[in-house]
Amino acid sequence: MVNGEDRLRITEIFLSLQGEADAVGWPTVFVRLTGCPLRCNYCDTEYAFTGGETLTLKEIIEKVSELGVSHVCVTGGEPLSQKSVHPLMKSLCDLDYQVSLETSGALDITQVDPRVSIVMDLKTPSSGEVDKNLYGNIEHLKAGDQLKLVIADQSDYDWSKQTIAEYGAATKATVLFSPAFGQLEPQKLAQWIIDDRLNVRFQLQLHKILWGDEKGK
């Protein structure tokens, strides 16, 4: 049951295709929460840092239901910076939605409903926010979760290789290497992965291929 007292600051709720991770290609409702404690150099959602409107969980779920698909992605900003995101995700799971969470990995994930598929974006050096990584989160990733690293150059790649090896990340979740849009040629990253026989999954952002820098509304 949704608690009428729970409210969240929401930037937008819209329907598009999921562009990343295991649910790529599925029609998905994106619930974008407002606010983020990080300021990554390659951020493409700066418009979600401020503003938005305050909605009750009931209002959010009604808007999700109106869009008529079974996949829901809770994103931001940084959704875990708002405590009421947890009852929202639980309620969506209880309603049999397939729920994913896009989080920076800078905030504790241990309270996330286990039915939620976590896509955790571990920050590489080029982000400017590598010091914000909460590496203990990696231990709490489960089968079906994904650990994403956005790579802008060779030094990011080398750091990512070392980090996933140090924390045994590939044994805990699917590791995704994604080229930073407009900063690293995808072919270069693909070849580095092939040459190193690296146990990671290369990915491109489908929504960027389809719509460039525009949101896939």
- What is the value of pTM for the model shown? 0.92
Domains in the chain: ranges and CATH: 7-208 (3.20.20.70)
Q: Which residues, including other chains, have CB under 8 Å from residue 62's CB and lie 6 or more apart?
A: none
79-109 pLDDT tens trace: 999 999 999 999 999 999 999 999 998 999 9
Rg (CA), the chain: 17
Q: Which residues, including other chains, have CB under 8 Å from residue 44's CB and lie 6 or more apart?
A: 181, 213
Mean per-residue pLDDT, 3-28: 90
| Confidence at residue 216, expressed as pLDDT on a 0 to 100 scale | 45
Q: In what order do the strands lie in the sheet with 201-202?
A: 53-56, 7-17, 27-33, 71-75, 98-103, 117-122, 146-151, 174-179, 201-202
Residue 217: pLDDT over 50:
no
- Residue 209: pLDDT band (50, 70, 90) is confident
Question: 3-class SS at 76?
Answer: coil
Whether residue 191 contacts residue 215, with contact meaning beta carbons closer than 8 Å, is answered with no
Q: Which residue type does 45 have?
A: T
183-194 pLDDT tens trace: 999 999 999 999
Q: Compute the mean pLDDT over every residue in the chain, rounded to the nearest whole number.
A: 94
25-73 pLDDT tens trace: 999 999 999 999 999 988 889 999 999 999 999 999 999 999 999 999 9
